[in-house]
Structure 1
């Protein structure tokens, strides 16, 4: 019987409103919470909008009740201070950890650090400084960066050197605060400069700062180069954050070709204590689709 039906049947004016009944109310009002996931999977806002339609606080509470211990929000930098504070307060109350947000570097990645142009560098560094304040406000540690598009008029070595210089200067901003920018190789289109794990690894080694690491997005890396576990093994020392999405389709594990049970076992066996962000869409609509997504993660979580 549903709680509302039970309460209606008993009658709010009688037993439940007495002393013993009032003490018993929380037992009926509290929903059963799921066991925490062993891997630290992080959903994002909108992923459970049908199950928790009441806004960001409602969605965070729903995530926590389903066993998720973290949340990531690419668009955090663009939220109001009031909303950032509300999200941070709610997550602290729920014992949740904040995942990445994106340091926006330009219009759809077209404004590129590969060019070495001062105006692009200045914009990027200014956004990094603003990101420090946001990170402190929402208790974040990691922030996503992407260098942008190829500059067709410059050799690859020069473009790479421009990226290294930009990330060295950004690291000087983040390192004193214990913050980490995680560069993400992407597969969205062939014009993007950063596409491979070894390329990202080389840039991290050249920057040589704990504030500059790799965001290994399994979906993008499967599309760009595959051989996931072997590639992670070769670049593991510089990987600080992981994101998830099956391929093809960029939906939850089990909807594509990636053997996520094996991949997560590898990550877990490496002793990874970071966050695995669920940066993908839902394979099916509505509440049923959201329940299926949660079950998909139960199916591939490590024992």
Structure 2
């Protein structure tokens, strides 16, 4: 049976962030993930994880000015020093929180920028991050994101992510495969997961359209969960969706779709 981690950036949002850990545990989750921990002392988050018996399975590298619309800086020329400082900060948080993998958001291509320059910048930054994370015993993830939700995002498909990882050539660098983003950009969910499973270290989910919980849209999650089990994926699946109403009201999908 798949193992689900609550994404605390998306779920239980009626609560302050620190209170979402307890809510996730009460809802039956044993693991959590979120975008960024950096606004809180690592000790405060660690205390919540320990108090509620939760494992942290993922967070992201710093991604620039999120409030101003930035969605990563790894592909942006001139921001290399900021990116490298963020890698160091992320590793310190990862070690304090016990997380084993960090996701890198590539960022949005500036209008008129040279795609070749952006790619070179991204590859060099990913090589740096992979080396630093490897020394810390951590995996680096790269996530393709659809261009409907984030126009201009630089990495959009599984093939693009794999091509980048081929060029980076680091044994600890993998794809973060988000089912929702993949459905919007390329489809072929089952075949892609099966073909590239050795290079996929983390999966996330949401249904489409709407990015709500599984069972609300077009993706046959009951079948897909069985397929993910059958091909041998043993990692966590992050629940990175927007609840259609409240988090608690929509959680019935876990029982309905994993025992179908």
TM-score range, shorter chain: 0.7 to 0.9
Match of 2:11 in 1: 47
Query: 2 CA distance for matches of 1:110 and 1:245?
Result: 19
Matched, 1:226 2:195: no
Q: Which residue of 2 aligns with 1:294?
A: 251
Gaps of 5+ in 2: none
* Larger relative helix fraction: 1
Distance in 1 separating the partners of 2:118 and 2:254: 39
Shift of 1:112: 4.2
Q: How does 1:25-174 map to 2 (within 5 A)?
A: 38-45=1-8, 47-48=11-12, 56-57=18-19, 59-79=20-40, 81=41, 84-107=42-65, 108-109=69-70, 112-115=73-76, 117=77, 119-150=78-109, 152-156=112-116, 158-174=117-133
TM-score by length of structure 2 reads: 0.87
SS where residue 61 of structure 1 aligns? helix
Matched, 1:277 2:238: yes
Question: Which ranges in structure 1 are unaligned for 5 or more consecutive residues?
Answer: 1-37
Q: Rate the CA distance shift 1:39–1:67 in 2: closer, same or farther, 3 A.
A: farther
- TM-aligned CA distance change 1:111 to 1:120, over 3 Å: farther
Aligned-residue Cα RMSD (Å) equals 2.3
Shift of 1:274: 1.5
Per-residue deviation, 1:155: 4.3
**TM-score, normalised by the number of residues in structure 1:** 0.76
1:10 maps to what in 2? none
Is the strand fraction higher in 1 or 2? Answer: 2
| Larger Rg belongs to | 1
Which structure 1 residue ranges, 4+ long, deviate > 6 Å from structure 2? none
CA distance in 1, matches of 2:25, 2:94: 21
Could you tell me whether the CA contact under 8 Å between 2:130 and 2:170 is conserved in 1?
yes
Q: Which of 184, 204, 216 is the aligned partner of 2:143?
A: 184
Displacement after TM superposition at 1:291 (Å): 3.3
SS of the aligned residue for 1:100 comes to: strand
- Structure number with the bigger relative contact order (C-alpha 8 A, sep ≥ 6) is 2
Which stretch has the larger CA shift, 249-258 or 183-192? 183-192
1:204–1:238 CA contact under 8 A, matched in 2: no
Distance 1:216 1:278 in 2: 12
Q: Structure 1 CA distance, aligned partners of 2:75 and 2:35? A: 22
Give 1:209-288 correspondences, 5 Å limit: 209-284=170-245
Q: CA deviation at 1:147?
A: 1.4
